Structure 1
Amino acid sequence: MADKNINNVTRESWILNTFPEWGTWLNEEIADKQVKPGTFSMWWLGCTGIWLKTAESTNILVDMWCGTGKQSHGNGKMRIGHQMQRMSGVQAMQPNLRNQPFVIDPFAIKDVDALFVSHIHSDHLDVNTAAAVNANCPNAKFYGPKKVCEIWQSWGVPAEKTVVVKPGDVVTIGKTKVKVLEGFDRTALVTEDDPDVTLKGKMPQDMNNIAVNYLFETTGGNLYHAADSHYSNMFAKHGNENHVDVALGAYGENPRGITDKVTSVDILRMAESLKTKVIIPVHYDIWTNFMADPKEITMLWNFKKDRLQYKFKPYIWQVGGEFTYPDDKDRMEFNFDRGFHDAFSIDNDTPFPSFL
């Protein structure tokens, strides 16, 4: 409980008493959840981060990120070599302020069996998550493409805990099979920290070393995690070669001169190509300069649904919310529990006017 004496309140005490804003509420909810046979549950942690829990109580983290964006105007410029600077040809700082609260306490996590990271960008590959999983879940392995594993090891994650994955690999976690698929993150291709390489206009990156997509095949259904992939015709290949029940796509309103997030039109194209039953937009929530209204997807789906080649539904999630497949597959929007289920079940001593 916060100290109520103003002489004892400091910036440090305020931070410790306030963040993460949800405390351990979501940690407790996930730990207490008993996933029914024939289903899987997941919680949106912000950006493309999810916690996946199966009927066998296998717990898998994907792209869990506990960092932040801009906190100061600084000199008003992006560094040379920044992917947005290379893509747009400008150097003015992008105003990417974090827009969502922290809904989970990384240092209170437990019972995690594996951490999967899709690619090298810092809003997916997070040092806080790595530290927490390493400390609290000693048997958990860290799975990611080659460059991701190199970064983990540079942070101090033991090499024996990291597992390099590439498209075509299959990893088994409990009874969950994880297929590693091609990633389509062209923004990652222009990420380069070597100014000399950048100024020469080269693209030395190999996508398979820096970014992948994942398909989680659980005993209750299959989840496709597209990470930060742009729209690609290769989604059709993945849909032809795999069974997809639920797919996550990085949706957003791209700033002028930037092609980074999937638009509402291409979210629907992605769903058709993957032949998924449910498409869930993510990532649009986190950056103030990429925010988009997911209802645009619903509106467009309603306009086109009778002409779509494959039938699916969009689902509008909320950060911190749970989605269980197949229980929620026919719903189209998440709403938090509003409480007061037992209203007036006990005596209420509040006087009410007679007209109520």
Structure 2
Amino acid sequence: MSTINDVSRESWILNTFPEWGTYLNEEIEAEDVKPGTVSMWWLGCTGIWLKSEGGANILCDLWCGTGKRTHGSGKMVKGHQMMRMSGVQKQQPNLRTQPFVIDPFAVKNVDALVVTHIHSDHLDINTAAAVNQNCPDAKFIGPQEVVNTWIKWGVPEEKTIVVHPGDEVKIKDVNIVALEAFDRTALVTWSNPEESLKGKMPQDMNEIAVNYLFETPGGNIYHAGDSHYSNMFAKHGNEHKIDVCLGAYGENPRGITDKVTSVDMLRMAEALNAEVVIPVHHDIWANFMADPKEITAIWNFKKDRLKYKFKPYIWQVGGKFTFPDNKDDLEFNFDRGFDDAFVIDNDTPFPSFL
């Protein structure tokens, strides 16, 4: 038995983080995706784990980092992306608000790590290291600047695949289609502040960001990364069959247009001809948090008049979504347990009147 003399800051960290331990790793590994379906788990921010009926395991945008950890000087570091976006000087309270629901260094059987764009809450060195160490055959798929960063970190170049809009990569029974991204923020917040301050930012969106369509036998999942709303979503909806779309939802601080707000989440789903729209990213940053039920409320307000053919789905971090099984659900809730209550004699005395 431990005593307080055995406890240190280091032991506390190792015994506590990630907060879910390997619970979700084990769940994903044990999941047997039935024919005609596709399953995915929300890992926080825009991170998802997609698993197909053919056993493809695709990890997208998993971020294992933190936001603010100290008040510091109270001022933005020169070159910070928020400073470049809006001229703000006061340090922003972008604290991480979600636990780590998966242990990146316990991942197994990952066939591909797919990243949408160059921002550090999507392109994560911890995830890259874990996948590289644990899954030697995994492919690292992303736009040019993402791949450049992986190679700088030490990912072998032969493991990487650069994609531009229109490119396709086959991973077992999943066809990954790269599509245009609409992330104007990325154009002015390239992840290297020193170079961007010298005017050396990439000017081609296709080199720093893409959206993805994951075509699977059980349904097609559209991942919009950090894209803002664009009329070009209609082009993607016309050219591809899209069953589920995920978009970066949030409440933008004053002077910032970075996340898709509730009305435009619905416009995105309609433009893409999707059956289900799922807001993500709203969970992770304290200064961008938004209530996703606002989307459901507006959908209810408009659905009969505008004849919406899709439904919103309010997810929880760490939860599973299976298409088409959950396509008519409006909200996720974790298993409450106790389905087998009283199958054995309990040892709690109950008064006879109960």
- TM-score scaled by length of structure 1: 0.97
The AA in structure 1 aligned to 2:333 is: N
Unpaired stretches in structure 2, ≥5 consecutive residues: none
Within-5 A mapping of 1:217-256: 217-256=215-254
The answer to whether 1:277 aligns with 2:259 is no
Structure 1 CA distance, aligned partners of 2:346 and 2:215?
Answer: 50
The AA in structure 2 aligned to 1:198 is: L
Structure 1 CA distance, aligned partners of 2:178 and 2:327?
Answer: 24
The answer to whether 1:160 aligns with 2:158 is yes
Q: Which residue of 2 aligns with 1:52?
A: 50
Question: In the alignment, which of 87, 91, 96 is matched to residue 89 of structure 2?
Answer: 91
Q: Which residue of 2 aligns with 1:216?
A: 214
Within-5 A mapping of 1:76-115: 76-115=74-113
CA 1:31 to 1:308, structure 2 compared with 1: closer, same or farther past 3 Å?
same
SS in 2 for 1:296: helix
Structure 1 CA distance, aligned partners of 2:221 and 2:194?
Answer: 38
| RMSD over equivalenced CA pairs, Å | 1.3
Within-5 A mapping of 1:1-356: 4-192=2-190, 193-195=192-194, 198=197, 204-356=202-354
Aligned residues: 353
Structure 1 CA distance, aligned partners of 2:318 and 2:335?
Answer: 12
Unpaired stretches in structure 1, ≥5 consecutive residues: none
The answer to whether the 8 A contact 2:80-2:193 is kept is no
SS in 1 for 2:10: helix
Structure 1 CA distance, aligned partners of 2:95 and 2:292?
Answer: 19
The AA in structure 2 aligned to 1:226 is: A
Structure 1 CA distance, aligned partners of 2:308 and 2:164?
Answer: 29
The AA in structure 2 aligned to 1:332 is: L
SS in 2 for 1:74: coil
CA 1:154 to 1:196, structure 2 compared with 1: closer, same or farther past 3 Å?
closer
The answer to whether the 8 A contact 2:244-2:277 is kept is yes
SS in 2 for 1:346: coil
**Alpha-carbon distance, 1:93 to partner:** 1.1
The AA in structure 1 aligned to 2:189 is: T
The AA in structure 1 aligned to 2:325 is: D
Structure 1 CA distance, aligned partners of 2:96 and 2:306?
Answer: 35
**Alpha-carbon distance, 1:89 to partner:** 1.2
The AA in structure 1 aligned to 2:35 is: P
CA 1:352 to 1:308, structure 2 compared with 1: closer, same or farther past 3 Å?
same
SS in 1 for 2:58: strand
CA 1:107 to 1:203, structure 2 compared with 1: closer, same or farther past 3 Å?
closer
The answer to whether the 8 A contact 2:277-2:313 is kept is yes
SS in 1 for 2:25: helix
**Alpha-carbon distance, 1:203 to partner:** 6.0
The AA in structure 2 aligned to 1:301 is: W
The answer to whether the 8 A contact 2:59-2:112 is kept is yes
- TM-score scaled by length of structure 2: 0.97
CA 1:22 to 1:79, structure 2 compared with 1: closer, same or farther past 3 Å?
same
**Alpha-carbon distance, 1:310 to partner:** 4.2
**Alpha-carbon distance, 1:194 to partner:** 4.8
The answer to whether the 8 A contact 1:275-1:310 is kept is no
SS in 2 for 1:255: coil
Percent identity at matched positions? Answer: 75
Which whole-Å deviations, capped at 9, do the CAs of 1:253-302 have from their partners, x for residues lacking one? 10011100000000000000001000000000000111000110000000
Structure 1 CA distance, aligned partners of 2:71 and 2:86?
Answer: 20
The answer to whether the 8 A contact 2:189-2:196 is kept is no
**Alpha-carbon distance, 1:197 to partner:** 5.1
Structure 1 CA distance, aligned partners of 2:152 and 2:166?
Answer: 26
The answer to whether the 8 A contact 1:321-1:336 is kept is yes
The AA in structure 1 aligned to 2:74 is: G
